[in-house]
Amino acid sequence: MNISFNDDNAKLFISNQEVNSLQENVDHLHADLENKTGQGSDFLEWLHLPSRMPPSLFDLIHSIQEEIREQCNAFVCIGIGGSYLGTRAATTFLNSTTNVKNAPEIYFAGNTMCSDYHADLLQTLEDREVCINVISKSGNTLESAIAFRLLRSFMEKKYGKKGACSRIIVTTGLQKNVISDLAKEEGYRSFQTPDGVGGRFSVLTLAGLLPIAIAGIDIRALMDGALVAENELTISSDLSINSAYLYAVYRHLLFQKGKSIELMAAFHSSFEYVLEWWKQLAGESEGKKGKCLFPASAHYTTDLHSLGQRVQEGTCNLFETFLLMEKSSKVIEIERANGTEDGLDYLEGKSLDFINEKAYKGSASAHLEGGIPNLAITLKERSAHNLGQLFYFFERAVAMTGYLSGVNPFDQPGVEFYKNNMFSLLNKPNTKKGK
């Protein structure tokens, strides 16, 4: 894999003996995942999505991709959580490395109920050629449903009912629901996501692959990368080989030692929404029974000037995981100054990547001295292939962390609790407050 894991700055807190003591447990839990004998076994289809993806699905997505590009220059992805974050992570991560002619601009809706956001979006779309893709596995997610109603009305006013129909795509679960019924009634093109894949694990299904492809990203490369990770992380549960499981073990042990917050910090701006995707993956999968880490994120060096003091000298209840990029797609060096002295001559000829690396090493060592253990996950370079590896790496790691903690990583009872309360307050028919 083009992913490396470094635990050097955590060894003062976690001994090799402690890590190795969990090997037998990891072996059993790995077998539970592969044999579908553990908790949440009905939702393990994501485990081997890369190796079992039929070639015909690539062809289908390609044909839709070409059609959409001919129709529109603005594509709206409607969804929230797992129906949104994977796509946004991919498009943000790879935006400046893609150079595809005629790829529409990607917009997002359904991830907020803010009036101003939707009003501004609709205004922006007025003079664009628009297609939309509503993504909701359950078909009853309120944020997505509201955004879909608003945008469906907008599309029908703009193109007429028949014209709008050809520009609307529905992606939902296999089970009959409100959105699938609407798609059937109106004649919208409709696609299904597998029942055995939860929303937060769905980036490598049609829910993520279709809008990612429309954005101009090479989904074959993305899936090839995920396949590399699948093969490497499936073949053995040995902690000396399986870096995802080793990362999971450190997360588990650090939590047991009172480090209740994991701060994922990135020094490369393209990781912004990868961090947001990871927070949902970890928080919703592990956050049960009072046994879980709180996943937080930071963007360094920006947040070193706001959160750095808290990390360095605040309550020692966290650890850091640095998400790093070995090299950028482009190189910028500090040039010789002409004229006025600016005090940066000592950096002359140095690249921004070189300086960024020293910022990482300086903050990592300082935080370690402040009692904050830190781990490092390094991606070789920015590409669709490597992003596919990273998605799968985190999915494996989070699944193992959940199992080590004794929770079902594949359900979300707390989410259903808040939804019921919200629907009750909104007087939705046949809704009771509470679980």
Catalytic residue among 305, 369, 432, 435: 305
> Would you mind telling me the total number of residues written for the chain in this entry?
435
Bridge partners (DSSP) of residue 262 are 295, 319
Catalytic residue among 284, 286, 320, 395: 284
Residues 131 and 68 sit within 8 Å (Cβ to Cβ): yes
Task: Tell me the CB-side half-sphere exposure of residue 103, using CA atoms within 13 A.
Answer: 19
Residue 134, classed as helix, strand or coil, is strand
Nearest alpha carbon to residue 213 among 392, 55, 49, 61 = 61
Residue in the structure block whose two tokens are 């140095």: 350
DSSP element (H, E) containing 57:
helix 55-71
Cα distance between residue 423 and residue 432, in whole Å: 8
Cα distance between residue 62 and residue 58, in whole Å: 6
What letter represents residue 351's amino acid? S
Q: What b/e sequence results for 175-185 when a residue is b if at least 16 CB atoms lie within 10 Å of its CB, and e otherwise? A: eebebbebbee
- Checking DSSP bridges between strand 130-136 and strand 168-173, what pairing results, if any? parallel
Name the token pair of 416. 């259903």
Nearest alpha carbon to residue 75 among 118, 98, 107, 100 = 107
Catalytic residue among 36, 279, 327, 419: 419
What letter represents residue 301's amino acid? T
Cβ atoms < 10 Å from Cβ of 102 = 11
Would you call 419 a catalytic residue per the annotation? yes
Task: Tell me the CB-side half-sphere exposure of residue 237, using CA atoms within 13 A.
Answer: 18
Name the token pair of 1. 């894999």
Between CA 42 and CA 113, with CA 273 as vertex, the angle to 5 degrees is: 80
Burial class (CB in 10 A: 0-12, 13-18, 19+), 389: buried
What letter represents residue 12's amino acid? L
Cβ atoms < 10 Å from Cβ of 387 = 24
Would you call 291 a catalytic residue per the annotation? no
Residues 267 and 72 sit within 8 Å (Cβ to Cβ): no
Cα distance between residue 19 and residue 26, in whole Å: 10
Cβ atoms < 10 Å from Cβ of 427 = 7
Would you call 259 a catalytic residue per the annotation? no
Catalytic (active-site) positions: 284, 305, 419
